[in-house]
Amino acid sequence: KAGVTQTPRYLIKTRGQQVTLSCSPISGHRSVSWYQQTPGQGLQFLFEYFSETQRNKGNFPGRFSGRQFSNSRSEMNVSTLELGDSALYLCASSLDRGVNTIYFGEGSWLTVV
Amino acid sequence: KNEVEQSPQNLTAQEGEFITINCSYSVGISALHWLQQHPGGGIVSLFMLSSGKKKHGRLIATINIQEKHSSLHITASHPRDSAVYICAVRSGDYKLTFGKGTLLTVNP
C-alpha cells in the first residue's frame, strides 16, 4: 500500500511569493496533519484536517492555510513568503482522530530567498 | 519550559551498547509517540503508547502516566540505529507536541 506522498519534494521561492504544497494520505486514512520543522524550533504543529474540516490549528500566522478534499488529499498554502518560512514541511496521515499510529510523508523542503 | 523535554540531546555509543532516551511531559495526554528521523527528513513512527510497555525487535518503549515520563531503550545498538529520536505527545485536543529530539550516533 502506498505511503503518504508529498509534492513537490524541493522548491525555492522568493520573498513575497506564495506556495502550495500537496499531500496524498495513505488510502483509507481520513485525518491529515501538517508540521513545520526548522533547526531552531524543531517540529511544530501547523494544522489538522478531518472530513474536509480544519479541526485544529497551531500558533502560526494567517498566512498559513490549508484545506482537505473529499478524497482526503490535502494542500497547504503559505502566502507572502518570508525568509523564516524556509523549512521542511511534513504531512502525516492516520486512520481517524483517535489514538492511532501516524504515518509521515518524506516532506517538502522549502527555501525562501 | 517546553511541554515535552527529552534527554540527552546528543548521545554517542559504541556498537552493542544498551541505549536509553528519556522523555518527560507536563500536559495531560491521550498517547505518546516515539519517532525516528534519518538524515534527509523522513520520519518513521516507532511506537505509540498510552500505557505500559511495548517491544519491537531490539526496541522497547515504556511509559509511566503518573510520573509523566517515557523511555525508549535500544538493546544491542547498531550503526544503522544512528538517527534522531523524537518524542511526541498527543493531547486531548489531538494536537501533537514534539520534543527537540535526541541525536544518536552509534559507532562501529
Q: How far is B68 from chain A (nearest CA, A)?
A: 18
pLDDT at position A1, please? Answer: 63
Distance of residue B78 Cα from the nearest chain A Cα, in angstroms: 24
Asked if B98 lies within 8 A of A43 by C-beta distance, the reply is: yes
User: B57 Cβ partners below 8 Å, 6+ apart?
Assistant: none
Asked if B41 and A107 come within 8 Å (Cβ–Cβ), the reply is yes
What is the pLDDT at residue B1?
57
pLDDT digits (tens, 9 = 90+) for B86-103: 999 998 778 899 999 999
Q: Would the CB atoms of A44 and B98 count as touching at under 8 Å?
A: yes
Q: Closest partner residue to B30 among A35, A99, A106, by Cβ?
A: A99
Rounded Cα–Cα distance for residues B91 and B30 (Å): 6
Q: Three-state DSSP class for A85? A: helix
For residues B80 and B98, give the distance between their C-alpha atoms in angstroms, rounded to a whole number.
23
- Residue A40: pLDDT band with limits 50, 70, 90: confident
pLDDT recorded at residue B93? 79
Strand order in the sheet with A5-7: A5-7, A19-24, A74-78, A64-68
A9 touching B (Cβ < 8 Å): no
Q: Are B61 and B54 in contact (CB under 8 A)?
A: yes
Residue A2 has pLDDT above 80, yes or no: no
Measured in angstroms, the CA of B92 and the nearest CA of chain A are apart by: 10
Measure A3 CA to nearest chain B CA, in Å. 11
Is B83 within 8 Å of B104 (Cβ atoms)?
A: yes
User: How many C-beta neighbours within 10 Å does residue B46 have?
Assistant: 19
Q: With beta carbons less than 8 A apart as the criterion, state whether B4 and B25 touch.
A: yes
The residue behind cell 486512520 is: A95
From CA B18, how far away is CA A59, in angstroms rounded? 38
CB contact under 8 A, B42 and A109: no
Tell me how crowded residue A41 is: count the other CB atoms within 10 A of its CB: 12
Q: Please write the tens of the pLDDT for every residue from B35-88.
A: 999 987 789 999 999 999 999 999 999 999 999 999 999 999 999 999 999 999
Parallel, antiparallel or unpaired: strands A64-68 and A74-78: antiparallel
Q: Is A44 on the interface with B (CB under 8 A)?
A: yes
Contact A101 B99 (CB under 8 A): no
Instruction: Look up residue A39 and give its three cell numbers.
Output: 533547526
Contacts of A17 (CB under 8 A, 6+ apart): A81
